[in-house]
Structure 1
């Protein structure tokens, strides 16, 4: 998508409103759960192609399914007392810290579980879709214990095991353990401590992906969440996590590891229900400092017509 600075100024207003509210309410603190989106100059004047040798303001490349963001500086609009800076940029919808709208995954007949799947695009999401109480799950201790087997770094499955059969992903037991908190409109937010590996120019070679061996929601965890929704007659708002796609590496890649065969289990089952996903979140460990059950999540998403998702400023407001 191509957006001007003016088009995204609403995000600044959103942040200002949240921060102002926090100052007015004693005992609250705000956490920015968003990675900065690095930008690069256009290559050869082509706004759609980044010149990775020309990063802007120290930008770095990160693992992504598409190209890095391109930012083109436009001529200044001058006045007698100064000038307005202007620019335009191109970036993938699902780049950086971002939200998936339900329309991001469209089921075929074999995977459809409802007669009326949620197929909303970004402009159709309501304000209530984009905020709600946080149900916090912290698996970072288990993840770190597994990483310690390899000097604190991700390794092969034989060394650091983040498969769905391990205890180093979000398990069905993790979901069952918070079942009393699962109500209409909540966001399940999971800290794996994985955002520290969010770096590298290659999707496949990055430790963040680690050969599709990384923590996330196991298939059993998503299945358990759906069972709880049905039993309680509720519908959550969505899931947020510090990995590339909510699903564990194994669930994302599928049993054949080809990314297309029986893959993306939570996407397949969850988005058709109206869940939204916040992916590549940052700073989730800070939510552990909050009073249990006191955090609310706010997603500053653009109301972009026909979009399947988009980079967003994610804010949590908590009580200490």
Structure 2
């Protein structure tokens, strides 16, 4: 029998496929993570992330201007200080590398891009954890003190908002962090500063290259506060808590291994949902492409499309500027 229903009709030509595509990419939906390191005389390549650099403030501003020209939506800034201590003192230093770089970006590209800053202590502590440590009740290894860490996050939030950050990326996975930071911001007159909650952030092995990018001093692991990769419902619970506490945007991280969680959160969230294509995902694409095993451009486009298809309203990706150029 001759088929009557032929789905292939809508795949027959490039024009037809373009017309009937269910998911589209646009440069404005892309955010570029960027690294600025104190003490550099020139940008430094990150060996595990081809094409990604640790910047000086000057080179950071130039790269952000290029990102604005490409039409992407924003940049997410991570700072790497020259000196670290147990409480991450450089994190809320107004003249520290992150806050100084934020002022420079806000001044130069703040009208063209949403300047965003990572609000976490891991880059700034000499132990590499996302908060301050306290002795464990059972006498074991020190653990991250949730509530003492919230005090540090509030201090960071005020410093970043004062420096000109339009959106604070709360990535530490401390209980109550959104409510604490929102209260601190509002109390200091920063009601317009938005909060991006890394609501479902998993203790993932895909963060490896990022550790090089920020020269992480991590001792141990973060499984005591980041989510277990085995848990799906827990991602929804975390997102719901952050929404109740006043998050303006919620995030799922990593992206590609957690598309089910992303779809769950997108289905219930009344606010925008973002996802982060993390360093390990990028490193794998670059390594496979360098060996000739995959078509690099097609894989980049396919992976970001898949993240958007699963429900992300915007995607943080190290490919953001390059992809935006292709889309144009």
- Give the alignment's TM-score, normalised by structure 2: 0.29
More strand by share: 1
- Give the alignment's TM-score, normalised by structure 1: 0.29
